[in-house]
């Protein structure tokens, strides 16, 4: 077992741990994420068919529809959301879903951004731990 420790930038603070699901291209949650199940349903996306429920989802940023935030909020409410999301920058769409989830359900979703070189070190099925100080620990 080897560990890699990376310092991320906290977007929305929180602790999380889980298996990684890593997509190296951006994703729209509207038409891309089935909030009833957690499945990635964008049939043109590399993660099509994978399930992100309770995973740590790593997506560089969102593309497409303004409705991505609303879909992620539904997933948080329905408990089909990832336990945390790692991006390569500040993603306003994900951050807003987390802020509104805090307002409505007191359940913010932790969000951390990694530098692109660090993001590139993540692989699907890595065990990942995110700390409240934005430290991302990869174990494989």
Catalytic annotation, residues: 65
Judged by beta carbon, residue 65 or residue 129, the one nearer other proteins is: 65
Pair of tokens at residue 44: 């043109």
Beta strands in 38-93 (DSSP E): 39-40, 56-58, 84-87
Place of tokens 């336990």: 83
For binding to other proteins (CB under 8 A), which residues are involved? 11-12, 26, 28, 30-32, 35, 41-44, 61-71, 73-74, 76-78, 90, 92-93, 95-97, 99-100, 103-104
What is the edge-to-edge ordering of all strands in the sheet holding 111-113? 3-7, 135-139, 127-130, 16-22, 56-58, 84-87, 111-113, 9-12
Provide, rounded to whole angstroms, the least separation between the CB of residue 62 and other proteins. 7
């Amino acid at each position: 077992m080897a560990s890699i420790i990376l310092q991320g930038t906290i977007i929305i603070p929180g602790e999380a741990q889980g298996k990684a699901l890593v997509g190296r291209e951006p994703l729209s949650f509207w038409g891309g994420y089935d909030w009833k199940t957690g499945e990635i349903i964008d049939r043109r996306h590399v993660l099509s068919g994978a399930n992100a429920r309770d995973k740590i989802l790593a997506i560089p940023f969102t593309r497409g529809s303004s409705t991505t935030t609303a879909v992620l909020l539904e997933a948080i409410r329905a408990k089909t959301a990832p336990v945390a999301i790692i991006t390569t920058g500040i993603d306003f769409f994900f951050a807003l879903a987390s802020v509104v989830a805090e307002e409505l359900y007191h359940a913010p979703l932790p969000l951390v951004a990694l530098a692109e070189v660090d993001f590139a070190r993540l692989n699907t099925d890595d065990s990942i731990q995110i700390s409240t100080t934005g430290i991302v620990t990869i174990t494989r």
